[in-house]
Chains A and B, each alone.
Chain A
Amino acid sequence: MSTAIFGTKIGMTRIFDGDVAVPVTVVEVQPNEVVEVKDNEKHGYSALKVAVGPAKSGKNVGKALAGEYKKADVAPRRFLREIPSVDGAELGSKITAETLNVDATVNVMAISKGRGFAGVMKRYNFAGHNATHGASKSHRGPGAIGCRMDPGRVWKNKKMPGHYGHAQITVRNLKIVKVDLEKNIVLIKGSIPGPNGGLVNLSQK
């Protein structure tokens, strides 16, 4: 059964697992509160709509949204997201990191850091050009982007400058080092996408 839960990326550190130093990312997984239970009969698929993220003050919650939260008796939060159904979940129940299987790997999905309009060196790791030796006005450019009369155009998907980052990235098969239900944190080996404080989705098959 697939499971998923939302958390917040806190940051990285390292711990000593036995003798070995392990780089870990700390993810805070506060209980995800169920706002709506979707089922096959009514919606055509089953899922849980959960409230996650920091609390949202009353004036930022529209009446329609407030009604939705009220139905489940859940305080408004910044995000409403869907996760796969969990047995016995009902309105207002809390999904905790307990649902994660510590021995299995986890897929982490998050929005990567936005880099704005980036050049090809940052975006595609192009090598750029000489800093000296007479190089003039072209140090970080892409160089040639195509041929001449034939084909007389630039190929599709040519790597060029453009918007980079702020895209949904999934990193698969990361190891869970530890799940601490007391502090509501999950330690994941290695790095995960997005800025500190960003919303992350931890899912397992």
Chain B
Amino acid sequence: MINALIDSVQKEHLRDTDIGEFNIGDSVNVHTRIKEGDKERIQIFSGTVIRRKAGHGDINAAFTVRRIVDGQGVERTFPVHSPRIEKVEVFREGKVRRAKLYYLRDRVGKSAKVKEKVRIK
């Protein structure tokens, strides 16, 4: 239960542009704006979404993307409502049976992969 005043403060800072729909287990490209000096460029972080935190109307909403870089697991957590996030692009849908994929952290190689969701039309 959020106080109405707090809600009214948060509302002004919720993002109005959609970052795109994605689910847990999806492989995504997260486009983030990076400032270098006075230049701005887009950096892409791609990996598997292993968790989503808080709902849509909540300013604290965030999601975590995991990937393997040079054999080392790397996780980045992005606040959904941060203006630095340009968009999230799904390039592969995952078939998962739980909401938090923390089990991927204990796995290496092929078992650390999420199966692709097959859509039958």
Contact = CB atoms under 8 A, between A and B. Distances in A.
Interface of A: 10-16, 18-19, 21, 24, 26, 28, 183, 185, 187, 196
B79 A21 contact: yes
B83 A19 contact: yes
B83 A10 contact: no
A10 B3 contact: yes
Contacts of B82: 16, 19, 21
B9 A24 contact: yes
A16 B81 contact: yes
Contacts of A196: 3
Interface residues of B, number: 17
Given A28-B5, A183-B5, A13 B83 contact: no
A16 B83 contact: yes
B9 A185 contact: yes
Contact of A15 (B3, B9, B33, B84): B9
B8 A14 contact: no
A26 B13 contact: no
B69 interface: no
Given A10-B3, A14-B59, A15-B59, A187 B84 contact: no
8 closest pairs, A vs B, by CB? A15-B13, A16-B13, A13-B6, A10-B5, A19-B84, A11-B6, A26-B6, A13-B10
Contacts of A28: 5
Interface of B: 3, 5-6, 8-10, 12-13, 33, 35, 59-60, 79, 81-84
A65 B82 CA distance: 51
A14 B13 CA distance: 9
A28 B84 CA distance: 30
A153 to B, nearest CB: 51
Contacts of B5: 10, 26, 28, 183, 185
A196 B13 CA distance: 22
B81 A183 contact: no
A15 B12 CA distance: 8
A12 B79 CA distance: 17
A26 B2 CA distance: 12
B3 A11 contact: yes
A179 to B, nearest CB: 12
Contacts of A16: 13, 81-83
Contacts of A12: 6
B83 A18 contact: yes
B69 to A, nearest CB: 25
A183 B8 CA distance: 9
A176 to B, nearest CB: 14
